[in-house]
A and B are shown apart, each in its own frame.
Chain A
Amino acid sequence: MQYAHDPALLLARFQFAFTVGVHIIFPAFSIGLAAYLAVLEGLWLKTGRPVFLDLYRYWIKIFSIVFGMGVVSGLVMSYEFGTNWSIFSKKAGPITGVLLSYEVMTAFFMEAGFLGIMLFGMNKVGRKLHFAATCCVSVGTLISMTWILSSNSWMQTPRGYTIDPATGRFLPADWLAIIFNPSFPFRLVHMGLAAFLSVAFIVGATGAWHMLKARKEGKISTEPVRVMFSMAMWMAAIIAPIQILAGDAHGLNTLKYQPAKIAAMEGDWDSEGRAPELLFGIPNMKTEHTDYAVKVPLVGSLILTHSLDGKVPGMKDFPRDQRPPSPVIFFSFRIMVALGVLMALVGFWSLWLRRNSTLFTNPVFHRVALCMAPAGFIALLCGWITTEVGRQPWTVYGLLRTSDSVSPVALSSMAVSMTAFVAVYVLVFGSGMGILVRLLGRAPQEGEHNAIPADAPKILATHTHPNVIDSSSGKGA
């Protein structure tokens, strides 16, 4: 057993958190965007309106970049369980490894197999088959999410297993109970909606940016821009409120199965009825007190139990070595909730403007929508931090400690690889973000170029920043 403050363990955790934190953005982006592309292509086939094809061709360029980054960062994950958490892999592999294999076989191959046709095959297979390929990719992303969240939820609320007394391994006893463990349906809905919402706000911000730009240039924004903005705001108005309800239901589920996580999220130390909600505070794990607390009476009980005198847990209910680090998840949870509420407000505002027919002409709203571009993804990351850090100090909740899960890898190896990961990720994914921003900075055209990378240089050189071709380009090319 290694100790919780062991530097190799901390590095293993930090490395895993860093790589999965970068990774999670891309599959979430792909889930939302693939569904959006399927809707766009379906609408194009149904209505024949070229605006949908223009938008499809605009967003598929983004998709190809995002999907590629998701694949390569995901490949790392499928091996990192073994490199960093070999004891966990050995003990839980009979369950989590099998779920991952099902994800590969039912989802990854389907996405990859039809992605080629989706990106390059429009002229080879015809419209209907191409639409089928787009749908397969979209369904693949959803199936993938389902398996990985089942596996993740099993680590949070393990069911359907026995423990082999000789080896300490988890043995599967009931696969349905494993897959449909108690937190899985809630996590699946919450994460799926988060992916849709994140992409809606990216699409909305892109539309807003081009409307602001057109306004500045004294032009009228084009139809594709207006259509994408309108579609994104519909999503915000519908999904954001549903997401708040889904989050609330997930919270109740967590209260039932992981009360220590709730206590740490809320910064509550003593279990009490008629509990206040802390708007702000700094939980101190040593003094067992939340400093500088700003409290709203009764609301804590109301939110968590849906009654004013409901009893909510406190961290003192649990031994010190079973408490998650409250200072982290107290804040990550609050940032997530605040952004969720903001997104819902933007959605309601859009309905109001739509009613007054000023959705496409209100520059203040467009600026707000632009600023909200990363809101979905930041909320998603904060939610993920809340649930994963809140699972600590366990990998398999209540059964296998993180400190007992780590690989026998030397600190020096960990340090070398950590440095390499940070350097490569900053370079690769930083460049990828740069390319995405540049692509999004170019307005969708009526009669958009075909979705092939070979056209990209033409697109980049003619329609975006002329300074793409800078003075140093001679050396590079």
Chain B
Amino acid sequence: MMDFAYWLPIVWAVILIAAISIYVVLDGFDLGIGMLFALERHPDRRDVMVNTVAPVWDGNETWMVLGGAVLYGVFPGAYATLLPAFYLPIILMLLALIFRGVAFEFRVMTRGTAREGLWNTGFMLGSGIAAFCQGAILGGVVQGVKVVDGAFAGGALDWLTPFSIVCGLAVMCGYALLGATWLIWRTTGVLEASCRRWASRLAAGMFLAIVAVSLWTPLLHAPYLRRWTDWPNFLFVAPVPVLVGVLGLLFIMGLRRGHSKGPFLCALGWFFLCLSGLGITMWPYAVPPGLTLWDVSSPPSSQFFQLIGTAILLPIILTYTIYSYHVFRGKVTETDGYH
């Protein structure tokens, strides 16, 4: 049992990070498209933007529900400290996601009425606020949570620091980049051209944000810094920043040469590297600076029972998710879309 108790939380941490990563990139471009409503005012092109994700956004958001449920079932100690600690930004994020989610249907169903503007704005602001809150919460977790006797013991606004604000803005920028590059892949004409312009600026912003957060994070806690500088750790982690730079170059080339998928894949790669870097930094803490994965995990019997189901179900879920994307593949234009 000792072995189980040691290994199961590690396996689950990997699954959880994978689920969060999948959520971040999938709902990332949904939320990015919402934010890009601020730049694209033309109603027909806005419809095209929404139509590229309308059949899949719901599945994308389900990864966030899975993240919450896994945290609840496998790491209840983390669920029970993080959610009260980030009470206000989590509630704000959920309310923003409500506006964003219903706006998919409501903005069309109220077309031609006074309410249409409300739901277009709700789609845009809901996406932006949700993205900011997700970044701020992530930043707040990285900077640490005050815990006494395994329970949150800090104040309601402890999470709100310059670092978490920068993280919030970084995620907004990153999601907008994902949205723009997704649209380069999935649309044509004027919209695609606009997205190429936006993408280059957003990528510059994202690059600056990555540099800023990467330099700032190791200064938050001593173990974070050691993780990146100690020999021989350095050898294993050094490729991460190098790859960030390489992807940046590939991104610029892809954008200039008119590649359709390339920029999106590069943006995905950036997100993958950022999340990997985050995992390397925080390991093995679930609630820094005090609680490790093992401190917050549920009994091995719970983790094991859930792992059996996950091992069977996750491949099935991925299969039909990919199938659904496959059905709705190809460029979306103003004339076809899903009309």
Contacts and interface: CB of A to CB of B under 8 A. Distances in A.
Interface string A409-444: 110110011001100100010011001000100000
Given A71-B61, A114-B324, A468 B112 contact: yes
Interface in A457-477: 457, 460-461, 468-470, 472-473, 475-477
A69 B98 CA distance: 8
B305 A98 contact: yes
A98 B87 contact: no
Interface residues of A, number: 88
A83 B73 contact: no
Interface in B56-80: 56, 58-59, 61-62, 64-66, 68-74, 76-77, 79-80
Contacts of B108: 453-454, 456-457
A171 B76 contact: no
B303 to A, nearest CB: 9
A417 B320 CA distance: 37
A101 interface: yes
A86 B84 contact: yes
B311 to A, nearest CB: 11
Interface in B27-82: 43, 47, 54-56, 58-59, 61-62, 64-66, 68-74, 76-77, 79-82
A73 B35 CA distance: 22
A54 interface: no
A93 B324 contact: no
B338 interface: yes
Interface in B106-132: 106, 108-118
A102 interface: yes
B156 A412 contact: yes
A65 interface: yes
A447 interface: no
A119 B55 contact: yes
Nearest to B155: A410
Interface stretch (B182-190, B201-209, B294-302): B294-302
B87 A413 contact: yes
A104 B156 CA distance: 30
A475 B73 CA distance: 48
Interface stretch (B88-96, B212-220, B227-235, B261-269): B88-96
A103 B80 contact: no
A408 B73 contact: no
B76 A97 contact: yes
A14 interface: no
Contact of A476 (B58, B95, B114, B152): B114
Contacts of B116: 476-477
A82 B82 contact: yes
B153 interface: yes
Contacts of B115: 431, 476
B289 interface: no
Contacts of A169: 298-299
Interface string B226-256: 0000000000000000000000000000000
A68 interface: yes
Nearest to A455: B339
A74 B102 CA distance: 12
Contacts of A87: 80, 151
Given A105-B309, A432-B102, A454-B47, A89 B79 contact: yes
A3 interface: no
A318 interface: no
B261 to A, nearest CB: 21
Contacts of B101: 68, 71-72, 75
A408 B153 contact: yes
Contacts, number: 284
A82 B79 CA distance: 6
Interface of B, helix, strand, loop or mixed by DSSP: helix
A116 interface: yes
A260 B324 CA distance: 49
Contacts of A410: 155-156
Contact of A100 (B73, B87, B301, B305): B73
Given A79-B94, A90-B76, A457 B112 contact: yes
B338 A477 contact: no
Contacts of B338: 120, 452, 454
A82 B87 CA distance: 9
A117 B327 contact: yes
B94 A75 contact: yes
A86 B81 contact: yes
B106 A432 contact: yes
A102 B309 contact: yes
A106 B309 CA distance: 9
A362 interface: no
B57 to A, nearest CB: 9
A76 interface: yes
Contacts of B55: 115-117, 119-121
Given A173-B301, A410-B155, 7 more contacts: A68-B58, A86-B152, A90-B80, A97-B79, A104-B62, A470-B114, A477-B113
6 contacts: A74-B65, A78-B69, A83-B90, A112-B59, A454-B337, A456-B108
Closest 6 CB pairs of A and B: A93-B76, A116-B55, A97-B73, A82-B83, A97-B72, A457-B111
Interface of B: 43, 47, 54-56, 58-59, 61-62, 64-66, 68-74, 76-77, 79-84, 87-88, 90-92, 94-95, 97-99, 101-102, 104-106, 108-118, 150-153, 155-156, 298-299, 301-302, 305-306, 309-310, 313-314, 317, 320-321, 323-324, 327-328, 337-339
